[in-house]
Chain A
Amino acid sequence: MESGRSLKPQAQALKGHLDVLLLATLAEGPRHGYAVKEALREGSGGRFDLPTGTVYPALHRLEDAGLIAGTWSVLDGRRRRTYRLTAAGRRRLTDDRANWRDFATAVTMLLEGSPWPATS
């Protein structure tokens, strides 16, 4: 884990993007809470390493919003809740990805002084 570059102290900065990042971890298929947290950490090269316990309430909020759906199963005597993207969640992820690409392109061009790409 790249603890020196971890965003733990900057959780507030991540907050505005947490929903789409959590949705993205479910794009490949269903995962349980701990697997979502691990996907977030591994997918970001260790930069987004949230305290695991704080990922669950965020998943519950996304479920309440109808963006993901959870189902219970039992594994080794433990109850496990597994989440998958709903159709609404998939649409939201597609939209947020497109918005992020536009935003990131604009910021990169501004910071690096690149010319604005032609739109036609």
Chain B
Amino acid sequence: MAGNQLIDGYLAGLARRLPADAVDELADGLTETYLRYRSGGLEPDPAARAAIAEFGDADLVLTAFVRQAPGRRAAWALLFGGPVVGVCWAATLIVDRAWTWPVPRWLAPAIGVTLLVAVAMLVLAATGRRSYRRTQLAAGAGLVVIGLDGAILAAMAFIAPPFVWPLALAVPASLARLALTARVMPRLLRD
């Protein structure tokens, strides 16, 4: 920290709303800016005010971080891809008369509720403008999506229903989503 109350207050405000690594990086840049103004002859408080003005107000910086957050981008990708995968599986289950399968009655509503929760989390993560924490919901939603794709693929292997043509689309679609989601998960969990 620069040892100036204005700078420290500005960073403390961001620290409540952004990941620690991002705040450390901002602190370094802001301190560098402050020191440059100080070496240019400004007194501490005017130098701090000039540095903060050059950095952008806290809301502007927060909005920029939220807009480019990995969770937000992942949430949009999953929301766009979800209907495609969903339609493939819906077609498979209908053509295959899934309601005749030997599975517990609670399973379908449980999957439906889990899916709705995941979609709600993704919508929150994708649409937040001023809350970085909201974008971090994408990590939880991603885990749910991986779980659902894994579960339905395992169920297909276990039940081994008669082959129907939509299955040839649904399985690759789920596998692709599984692989892509698993690829971004480390980044989302680290964020």
Contacts and interface: CB of A to CB of B under 8 A. Distances in A.
Physical interaction between A and B? yes
Interface of A: 32-34, 37, 51-54, 56-58, 60-61, 64, 75, 78-81
Q: Which of A32, A33, A57, A64 has the most CB of B within 10 A?
A: A57
A53 B64 contact: yes
Interface string B20-50: 0110111111111100000000000000000
A54 B70 contact: no
A52 B73 CA distance: 22
A54 to B, nearest CB: 4
A60 B21 CA distance: 11
B26 A53 contact: yes
B76 interface: no
Contact of B187 (A56, A64, A78, A81): A64
A80 B26 CA distance: 9
A56 B31 CA distance: 15
A54 B64 contact: yes
B60 interface: yes
Given A34-B29, A34-B33, A56-B26, A51 B68 contact: no
Q: Is the interface of A mostly helix, strand, loop or mixed?
A: helix
B27 A56 contact: no
B28 A58 contact: no
Contacts, number: 72
Interface of B: 21-22, 24-33, 54-56, 60-61, 64-65, 67-70, 73, 187
A104 to B, nearest CB: 27
Contacts of B70: 60, 64
4 nearest interchain CB pairs? A51-B56, A53-B61, A34-B29, A54-B64
A34 B34 CA distance: 11
A33 B29 CA distance: 7
A51 B65 CA distance: 13
Contact of A32 (B22, B28, B56): B28
B25 A56 contact: yes
Contacts of A58: 64, 68
Contacts of B187: 64
Given A33-B28, A60-B70, 20 more contacts: A32-B29, A34-B32, A37-B29, A51-B55, A51-B61, A51-B64, A52-B56, A53-B30, A53-B56, A54-B56, A56-B25, A56-B65, A58-B64, A61-B73, A75-B28, A78-B31, A79-B27, A80-B28, A81-B24, A81-B28
A57 B25 contact: no
Contact of B54 (A51, A56, A81): A51
